[in-house]
Chains A and B, each alone.
Chain A
């Protein structure tokens, strides 16, 4: 998927997607010499912001793992990253059929909590997966991305009775999703 491209989340057989997962993976910082514990860990965080008519209604991030309505769930904070072989280190699951009726957009973001820019992070990626069959719908590579610490990845928005996903990939800077709000609002 390329920046700005939109795909409908209707399945080929006419049914629509019911559950999607936004997965985030990156490679942990390499151990260094004697005081290995002083390795500068890389902590990326995935967040999802739920909007109703351009008003943020709920946020799912590492401090609030489940949206109040239960439709969006974060699998938990990963502070260090993984082996960098394509597995998700953090994931946000969205049960599209249960998203409250007034929520019309869900924006996914990635932040570098520890402050490294995406240039310094190895093998980082972000992907969107159809949770019902594990098929990957979209994938971004963040590694070598540039001198910024956050990215607004994608938005999923209502489109008639179904949902459409738009890949955004807008770079931004910030430690948590709050810092990104000014950057998110223009893409709604």
Chain B
């Protein structure tokens, strides 16, 4: 069993002969320092480093490398030695080679293994930033037994500062000596990074760096250590800065081995690349957020889960705040009442003082609650700041640059952003509202008059126009995130009133046909889709999905209905209800752009229809509840930046792909 240590955690060691494996995506120098029970290094001869690689019971490699194996024999240590610290340092950046801070490279991974390769404990050193030297682990004697502890203490001042901290008088000389030795070694190794060889190469020789220093510097400045891969790339067989060292027993080598067992077309068979983890918090300040810091098989799934995590956190932290404020106010009310009813308070200033005290107690608690809410909101804002830019188009706002670099996707995304959610207490933060795809229910863009939040009055004509614009933006997004030809949009616009709003769809030619007009058009489109639902249902229920006619279009269908119930007779209304109930399971969805009041004449008949649809509004409105505490969240529709052509550009690309597409 491997113990995955976290910073500060320790683990007993049962063997005395050990190997310490280091894997950092970039060349590093490894050293080991011996110290006494007070943690003091007595002299340079207590340090094994590239310039003097062999000490009693200890051997390190002579050069900087991305992968190291250090040999340790704890039995060979003298009695005075109580601690063996394993140190890593980045080579001095003199030659311009390699990054000079750990924050710019992948988190180094350190494992303690037995001689047979079985891992005893491992530790990934996260949370480093400006540091160029770090104490990775220490093996220490405790009551006669040896243990390993994950340390992860970094030093921005490099090895010199590190050694000085451990009480070594010649810290600076030793550090520069190591730098020199590393530079010599580096000069040798940079030229020809030999490919990693077989199992036979298990010598003390440092495993050859898989990356040259220039490549190693690639992730510099990038906040996300793992490149987002939305394509169908299996993670196995992917080159680049990965922990790559031999040993079949090592789970981390599974994807770097010579034989790639993963199926090229099957994504889930390969283990997912490790998620970027948030570095542990510096004491006294919250951890820096990282995009994709959640569980999942792909970056997309991680971001999805992260967004939901932020959603839940905001819901709960706001619940804490509201509950505290409610409590404070009810306590104040009670105290004020008490002060009022106490006859002693009727005379003199006593009553005033009591009231004053009650108010002060209330505002003090509210202030405290506000402080913790502000702290949490600030943390979420910081997280949103790194998450938003990392989002793929389907999750991103229209103003995200990824929409300008839009390409027609090859796969259906997990979810779609329908807009933003926010709470009044936490104005600065917007949570992306992500809805899983394929859609499970239809959408209803409410063109009815709502009491808008900012008090501005939108007349019903404007509201209808806004609703239709919003519907078009949603439909465009759906078209864009599906692979070419896998999403078809039909439009019913009986009176032709939505023609202007529909222009981006009609002019780019991404919809199946011109918007159906008049009662005849409504009947025709509904009949076609109803028949389709029947046909697919029959095939699925009969257990013969192959029995569909050849050339049958298997794409998802979306029907946009404007101006309901204009142009609808009773039969058409029934067909619409049928589509709402039965359509989603066979990939036929409805998007109603309607004012519920206008169809009030149908009475309660249509209630199930509206209930079955997810209501969205064209203006901000607080009608959505979260699943945890049920706050009313303000929904904001996804706004296309004013004057931006992004929608049209994206749709043009979609139309192009549909024309030239494979079907």
Contacts and interface: CB of A to CB of B under 8 A. Distances in A.
Contacts of A66: 316, 628
A162 B365 CA distance: 16
Contacts of B316: 66, 68-71
A131 interface: no
A37 interface: no
A160 to B, nearest CB: 14
Interface string A46-69: 000000110101100000001011
B137 to A, nearest CB: 17
B323 A71 contact: no
Interface stretch (B324-332, B542-550, B590-598, B645-653): B324-332
Contact of B323 (A15, A53, A102, A133): A102
Nearest to A55: B327
A57 B9 contact: no
Contact of A102 (B283, B319, B365): B365
B390 interface: no
Given A66-B628, A100-B369, A101-B368, A57 B317 contact: no
Interface in A92-122: 98, 100-102
Contacts of A100: 320-321, 323-324, 369, 372
A102 B629 contact: no
Question: Binding site of B, secondary structure by majority: helix, strand, loop or mixed?
Answer: helix
B331 A70 contact: no
A21 B369 CA distance: 24
A133 B10 CA distance: 10
A68 B327 contact: no
A11 B283 CA distance: 15
A141 B324 CA distance: 36
Nearest to B9: A133
Nearest to B323: A100
B178 to A, nearest CB: 32
A55 B321 CA distance: 17
Contacts of A55: 327
A interface majority secondary structure:
loop
Given A52-B327, A53-B327, A101-B372, A68 B365 contact: no
A100 B629 CA distance: 15
B313 interface: yes
A68 B629 contact: yes
A101 B365 contact: yes
A69 B319 contact: yes
Contacts of B628: 66, 68, 70
B312 interface: yes
Contacts of B629: 68
A182 to B, nearest CB: 22
Given A100-B369, A101-B368, A102-B328, A57 B323 contact: yes
Nearest to A71: B320
B592 to A, nearest CB: 34
Given A57-B327, A70-B312, A133-B9, A101 B317 contact: no
A168 to B, nearest CB: 24
Interface residues of A, number: 16
A50 to B, nearest CB: 9
A100 B628 CA distance: 17
A57 B320 CA distance: 11
Interface string B308-322: 000011001101110
Interface string B337-365: 00000000000000000000000000001
Contacts of A98: 317, 320, 372
B317 A102 contact: no
Contacts of A69: 316-317, 319-320, 323
A173 B564 CA distance: 61
A11 to B, nearest CB: 12
Interface string B278-322: 000001000000000000000000000000000011001101110
Contacts of B372: 98, 100-101
Contact of A68 (B313, B319, B331): B319
Contacts of A71: 316, 320
Interface string B146-167: 0000000000000000000000
Contact of A70 (B9, B320, B324): B320
Contacts of A133: 8-9
Interface string B1-19: 0000000110000000000
A126 B628 CA distance: 29
B323 A70 contact: no
A38 B427 CA distance: 56
A100 B8 CA distance: 28
B9 A102 contact: no
Nearest to A50: B323
Given A68-B629, A101-B369, A133-B9, A58 B331 contact: no
Nearest to B371: A101
Interface in A56-89: 57-58, 66, 68-71
Nearest to A52: B327
A98 B317 CA distance: 8
Contacts of B365: 101-102
Interface centre among B8, B283, B365 (most CB of A within 10 A): B365
Find the residue from A53, A69, A71, A100 having the highest chain B CB count within 10 A: A100
A100 B372 CA distance: 8
B319 A101 contact: no
A52 B329 CA distance: 13
B431 to A, nearest CB: 15
Contacts of B9: 133
24 contacts: A52-B327, A57-B323, A58-B323, A66-B316, A66-B628, A68-B316, A68-B319, A68-B629, A69-B316, A69-B317, A69-B319, A69-B320, A70-B312, A70-B317, A70-B320, A98-B320, A98-B372, A100-B321, A100-B323, A100-B324, A101-B324, A102-B324, A102-B369, A133-B9
Interface of A: 15, 52-53, 55, 57-58, 66, 68-71, 98, 100-102, 133
Given A69-B323, A71-B316, 12 more contacts: A68-B319, A68-B323, A69-B319, A70-B312, A70-B320, A71-B320, A100-B369, A101-B324, A101-B369, A101-B372, A102-B324, A102-B327
